[in-house]
């Protein structure tokens, strides 16, 4: 196997490879761009004009998707997987990965779409670097652009594997891509209703890619992800890389649950209180009339929506950031 196929090993060791470019016997080119980032170019005759960005590790303790990307890249480097797509592998937050922590100074996945310009520190610099790399990767005209940003959640979930589909003004969500997610084992999709500051929001809104944040179970340390079943997703990604992926039937959305954002719970001060048990799971349903949160100046969030569920509850976020999202069932 080519040495550049060991991108995860290099990243965790903080090492820069001696050779920045290597070729497989089949003519696939591996190009190390910077720490944690490697571009895969198929042989010219094999290129099917798909540009696929696969990112993981924006939160350093979310190891299952990091291990999945490592497996795919090693298969490419060994010749077991023959790409027809251009693929950019990104391990987003190397310093946090080496520490086994979610982040070093701040949540990097709240620093995109220019938000890093209002901040400082390693994560802000890294978010800017990832934006530049993604912009360059998706700069070629007349190609299909697809981005999966892979995560695992802080807490358990009533729906284990789900996706967040970003929003861009005037742009419709793709039934075809929703069907592809269903094939990949995704059980639910949250259709967002405003432009966000996450990595997938940046590539969707500003770079024109089809882009998704995928939540794939609960975060665990390296080597302890045997309970996270990513077989369907891995199969989907292998097919995309090899160019054997069939175009999904847009009608095949059976069993895919759709949700939309009803409200975001924004933390304004140190007085913020979230009235949920510490172990509450994502997609837990909340009754109408439930006092969800309180903050300064008598601010109160009371559940008004039928069928409302909570995702990403986190009262420890910085002031001004969301401490949870209320979602409700939706349809296309």
- Confirm whether 187 is a catalytic residue: no
| Active-site position among 39, 177, 215, 281 | 215
Instruction: List C-alpha distances in Å: 247 to 143, 175, 185.
Output: 16, 11, 16
What's the rounded Cα separation, in Å, for the pair 148 and 304? 33
Structure token digits, residue 219: 């975060």
CA 307, 282, 253, 176 torsion-angle sign: positive
| DSSP run (H or E) holding 231 | helix 231-242
Do 328 and 259 meet the contact criterion of CB atoms below 8 Å apart? yes
Structure token digits, residue 122: 């390693």
| Residue 55, strand partner residues | 90, 149
Closest C-alpha to 211, from 125, 299, 145, 124? 145
Catalytic residues: 215
């Amino acid at each position: 196997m080519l040495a550049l196929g060991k991108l995860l090993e290099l990243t965790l060791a903080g090492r820069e490879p001696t050779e920045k470019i290597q070729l497989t016997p089949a003519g696939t080119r591996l190009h190390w761009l910077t720490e944690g980032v490697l571009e895969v170019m198929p042989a010219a005759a094999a290129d099917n004009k798909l540009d696929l960005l696969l990112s993981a590790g924006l939160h350093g303790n979310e190891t299952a998707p990091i291990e999945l990307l490592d497996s795919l890249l090693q298969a490419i480097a060994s010749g077991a997987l023959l790409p027809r797509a251009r693929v950019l592998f990104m391990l987003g937050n190397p310093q946090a990965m080496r520490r086994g922590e979610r982040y070093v100074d701040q949540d990097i996945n709240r620093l995109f779409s220019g938000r890093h310009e209002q901040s400082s520190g390693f994560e802000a610099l890294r978010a800017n670097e990832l934006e530049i790399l993604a912009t360059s990767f998706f700069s070629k005209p007349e190609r299909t652009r697809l981005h999966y940003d892979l995560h695992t959640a802080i807490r358990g979930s009533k729906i284990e594997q789900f996706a967040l589909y970003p929003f861009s003004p005037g742009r419709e969500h793709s039934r075809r891509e929703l069907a592809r997610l269903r094939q990949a084992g995704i059980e639910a999709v949250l259709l967002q209703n405003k432009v966000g500051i996450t990595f997938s929001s940046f590539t969707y809104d500003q770079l024109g890619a089809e882009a998704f944040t995928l939540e794939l179970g609960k975060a665990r340390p390296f080597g302890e992800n045997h309970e996270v079943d990513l077989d369907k997703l891995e199969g989907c990604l292998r097919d995309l890389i090899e160019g054997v992926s069939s175009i999904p039937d847009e009608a095949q959305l059976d069993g895919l649950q759709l949700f939309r954002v009803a409200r975001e719970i924004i933390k304004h001060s140190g007085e913020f209180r979230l009235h949920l048990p510490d172990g509450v799971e994502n997609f837990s349903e909340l009754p109408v009339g439930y006092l969800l949160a309180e903050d300064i100046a008598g601010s109160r969030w009371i559940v008004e929506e039928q069928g409302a569920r909570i995702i990403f509850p986190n009262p420890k976020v910085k002031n001004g950031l969301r401490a949870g999202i209320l979602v409700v069932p939706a349809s296309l």
